Amino acid sequence: MSGHTGDHGGTEVLDSPAEGQTELKRVMGPKLLLLFIVGDILGTGVYALTGSVAGEVGGAAWAPFLVAFIVATITAFSYLELVTKYPQAAGAALYTHKAFGIHFFTFIVCFAVMCSGITSASTASNAFAGFLRDGFGMTDEWPDGSAPLLVIALAFMALVAAVNFRGVGESVKANVVLTLVELSGLLLVIFIGLYAVTQGKADFSQTVVFDSPSDKSTFFAITAATSLAFFAMVGFEDSVNMAEETHEPAKNFPKMMLTGLGITGLIYVLVSITAVALVPVGTLSNPDEGSALTQVVAAGAPNFPFDKIFPFIGMFAVANSALINMLMASRLLYGMAKQEVLPPFLGKVHHSRRTPWAAILFTTAIAFGLITYVVRANGSEEGASTVSLLGGTTALLLLCVFTVVNIAVLVLRRDPVEHSHFRAPSILPYLGAAFCAFLAGPWARSDEQQEQYKIAGGLLAVGVLLWALTWVVNRFFFAKKTYMRDPEELDDPDHAHHG
């Protein structure tokens, strides 16, 4: 839900002196930065995936969130080293390029980050449709995979495209308001849990019950659920784009990013413990009963109308997430077209609105295809839930990107810089690369979740096809090479990903 909209494209960030002095205004003190990071991580993930995670491991739904938090924090150390070492806002594609210098590889990382934005926004669209259904009490009439849900999700995505086309001047202040809305929803769940305890309604013995539907060992059940829960922790990597707008980034950034991760990790663990203590896992993980957190609110405080209000809070939480992710994806696609590694048509800008309309149409078309494919698959009996397929694909793409970033940190230690910067304890990038690579593997997915590879592979295939097409046209019609001309200028690649 990052409130920062990747507008650096207009502010060309020149190679700056060591202190990272650029024309961008340093507006964020530690408190605002902390709120930004918390807001960036909170969002669709916990609102949409709590039920699916409980479905994988039973009552111990807090464990995958805890493991995801640990892996995310280890990777955050790598990002902190890179962002304080190279303070221009750029993200994973630039780090990859500095470390390996292979243009096609940089492009694939960049395209994977863009795709994860689209899958994340598509997850949010489906979650939005689910909350709308809960809000208007249509749970029985509109089961998962039904036409009305598909229509709502597509209409919502079209609305996001329209807002994106108009141009979004989202300020950090709007971001603060929406963060507080999301936070209030999750704190409401935790407080209702505490209230239910005083009423003797909560059964905490459930929270230590491991129960995997596929009879997997506990280790693999937690692994499969962690690869899903990881979607709820992403977002921390976007905040690196705020480095140039933060006071004393080398000092404030590490403290605030790790505090932000800690706060969100704690909230997620408390929310999942509350959910399992109040609602039987079978009901919680059954989407036909309504969204998991709506059920928790209804069960914990049946005499209060919280369950009527909660779906609307959920709609807010996921709407902002979708908007910023689509904004990031379209700007990144536009950046790649400008670098002439994708068809130049995708770099077209509307003459009066000054927004990249061709890139917005293209990314929205991909999102439409994804939503339709996944909702229809979900209508079948064996299909995994829409949200867990799309959220899981987002996590899969980002786990691959994070594996590369963790390795890049180690490679770039051979490239000393003049100024002092944060340095991650040496063991962490190795652990980060190993954990992220492990969680990206097929063994870390249940049978229904294997479909994520098809979706991720299909998306990357589109990128490779477009690269090949551009290569042929550049080579045979314009007699020029196809390569990343200046990865520094990619419009904030790693932007706004939001769990």
Tell me if 323 sits within 8 A of 157, measured CB to CB.
Answer: no
Establish if 18 belongs to a structural domain: no
Question: Is residue 119, in this structure, part of any structural domain at all?
Answer: yes
Q: Which residue in the block uniquely carries the two structure tokens 């940089």?
A: 106
Annotate 79-142 with DSSP letters as a single string.
HHHHHHHS-SS--HHHHHHHHH--HHHHHHHHHHHHHHHHHHHHHHHHHHHHHHHHHTT-TTTS
Is 499 inside a domain boundary?
A: no
Closest to 256 (Cα-Cα) out of 407, 39, 431, 436 = 39
Of 178-182, 385-389, 433-437, the poorest mean pLDDT is in 385-389
pLDDT at 379: 58
Alpha-carbon gap, residue 348 to 336, rounded angstroms: 12
Q: Does 57 map to a domain?
A: yes
Lowest mean pLDDT among 14-28, 173-187, 253-267, 391-405: 14-28
Q: How far apart are CA 463 and CA 308, in angstroms?
A: 43
CATH of the domain at 175: 1.20.1740.10
**495 band by pLDDT with thresholds 50, 70 and 90:** very low
Helix, coil or strand: residue 58: strand
Cβ distance 298 to 139 under 8 Å? no
Total residues belonging to the chain: 499
Write down the H helix ranges in 199-305: 218-233, 249-278, 281-284, 292-300
- Quote the pLDDT of residue 313: 86
Q: What is the pLDDT of residues 467-484, one digit of tens each?
A: 888 777 766 665 555 555
Neighbours of 223 (CB within 10 A): 22
User: Is 1 within the bounds of a domain?
Assistant: no
Cβ proximity of 245 and 3 under 8 Å: no
Structure letter (DSSP) for residue 418: S
- Residue 83 neighbours by CB under 8 Å, 6+ apart: 240, 243, 249, 253
Residue 96 lies in a domain: yes
Host domain of residue 435: 23-489
Q: What is the pLDDT of residue 89?
A: 52
pLDDT score for 476: 65
Q: What pLDDT does 262 receive?
A: 94
Cα radius of gyration rounded to whole Å, the chain: 22
Count Cβ atoms below 10 Å from residue 160 Cβ, excluding itself: 24
* pLDDT, tens digit, 9 for 90 and up, residues 219-259: 888 888 888 888 888 888 777 666 666 777 777 788 888 99
Give yes or no for residue 108 having a pLDDT over 50: yes
pLDDT at 293: 83
Q: What is the DSSP letter of 383?
A: P
- Nearest residue to 329 via CA among 492, 203, 187: 492
Q: What is the pLDDT of residue 397?
A: 93
Q: What is the pTM of this model?
A: 0.82
What confidence category does residue 19 fall into, taking pLDDT thresholds of 50, 70 and 90? very low
Q: Does pLDDT of 498 surpass 50?
A: no
* pLDDT tens, position by position, 70-83: 999 999 999 988 88
Confidence tier at 427 by pLDDT (50, 70, 90): very high
Q: Which of 119-133, 212-226, 290-304 has the lowest mean pLDDT?
A: 212-226
Give helix then strand counts, H and E, for the chain.
16, 0
Provide the pLDDT for residue 168.
58
3-state secondary structure of 28: strand
User: 8-12, 54-58, 205-209, 290-294: which has the minimum mean pLDDT?
Assistant: 8-12
Q: Convert the pLDDT of each residue in 85-102 to its tens digit.
A: 877 655 787 788 888 888
Give me 357's structure tokens. Answer: 């309309």
Tokens of 81: 């080293």
SS3 348: coil
End-to-end CA gap in the chain:
8
408 vs 341, higher pLDDT:
408
- The predicted model gives 414-420 an average pLDDT of 82
Q: Determine, yes or no, domain membership for 494.
A: no
pLDDT at 458 over 50: yes
Number of structural domains found in the chain: 1
Residue 471 burial (CB count, 10 A): 16
Q: Is it the case that residue 270 has pLDDT exceeding 50?
A: yes
Q: Tens digit of pLDDT for each residue in 200-230?
A: 887 877 777 777 666 667 788 888 888 888 8
Average pLDDT over residues 310-335: 82
169 domain-assigned: yes
Residue 9, pLDDT > 80, answer no
Residue 6 confidence class, pLDDT cut points 50, 70, 90: very low
Mean pLDDT of the chain: 79
